Amino acid sequence: MKIFLDTANIPSIKTFVDMGVLDGITTNPTLIAKENREFTELVHEILGLVPGPVNLEVVSQESAGMISEGHDLAALGPNIVVKCPMTAEGLKAVRKLHRDGIKTNVTLIFSPNQALLAAKAGADYASPFIGRLDDAGHEGMKIIEEILSIYRNYGFETRVLVASIRHPVHVVQAAKLGAHVATMPPDVLDKMVKHPLTDIGLKRFLDDWQRAGLKLPQGRPSSHMKPKPLVQRA
Ligand code: G3P
């Protein structure tokens, strides 16, 4: 399962890029507004950090506006994915952008039927919002299972991008179901890194090491790890 970070926050993105665990980024108008920065400059900074897909959302409500915004967003970089809302106009825009060779993600999906239509329109990604379904008293993860099964039945290539993830259990559930992507806020990814038994175990190892007064070898290059010559000889 690919892991995307659901944020436009540069320090958070840097942290997880450095760990090597990040496959892409999703944003939405709310997340972009939170950063309080000029949009294009912010996007370029994100693109400079993340080699994978960077999802940016259109804000028009009519398909013509979404198509035009989609082209402008896609021009910002080769790995841009244009997010369109799950509306009739959004589906029209997805169909056209798909035909124009632009990658798309249909966002704000809350039912298997909406996901089926997103796939038929040619979306590269479908984003069901499971946390918001949970909030409304439904079992959000159930629709992930249903969508994956529908896509498998008909060989749709649309990737299921599980969105509105609220905690690490959501991530495990999405992975067990075989979802293609999970996008999550930085605090959820941070919680996935940590476990109290890891901290306790590490402390015990280091205490025992110190008590024994041991030392690691000092950093001399060893004979089997010679640095490669800078200039290759013929
Ligand atoms: O990716 C969708 C996500 O941004 C929505 O999350 O927590 O606002 O429901 P949330």
- Dump pLDDT digits (tens) for 13-30: 999 999 999 999 999 999
Ligand 1 binding pocket includes 129 (Cβ within 6 Å): yes
Please give the torsion angle defined by the CA atoms of residues 103, 142, 1 and 175, in that order, rounded to the nearest 10 degrees. Answer: 170
Task: Give residue 194 CA to ligand 1 midpoint distance, Å.
Answer: 22
Ligand 1 binding pocket includes 105 (Cβ within 6 Å): no
Mark whether 83 is an active-site residue: yes
Considering the domain boundaries, does residue 201 fall inside one? no
Considering the domain boundaries, does residue 113 fall inside one? yes
Considering the domain boundaries, does residue 153 fall inside one? yes
Considering the domain boundaries, does residue 8 fall inside one? yes
- On average, the pLDDT of the chain sits at 95
Considering the domain boundaries, does residue 178 fall inside one? yes
Instruction: Give Cβ neighbours of residue 78 (< 8 Å, ≥ 6 apart).
Output: none
Considering the domain boundaries, does residue 76 fall inside one? yes
Number of domains, the chain: 1
Query: What confidence tens digit (pLDDT) does each residue in 26-44 have?
Result: 999 999 999 999 999 999 9
Q: Active site residue: 2, 34, 83, 203, which one? A: 83
CATH number, domain of 115, equals 3.20.20.70
Query: What confidence tens digit (pLDDT) does each residue in 106-151 have?
Result: 999 999 999 999 999 999 999 999 999 999 999 999 999 999 999 9
Task: Give residue 162 CA to ligand 1 midpoint distance, Å.
Answer: 10
Q: Copy the structure tokens of residue 181.
A: 């992507």
Helices (H) and strands (E) in the chain, counts: 11, 8
Closest ligand 1 atom to residue 135 Cα is: 9
- Which residue's C-alpha comes closest to atom 8 of ligand 1? 164
Considering the domain boundaries, does residue 156 fall inside one? yes
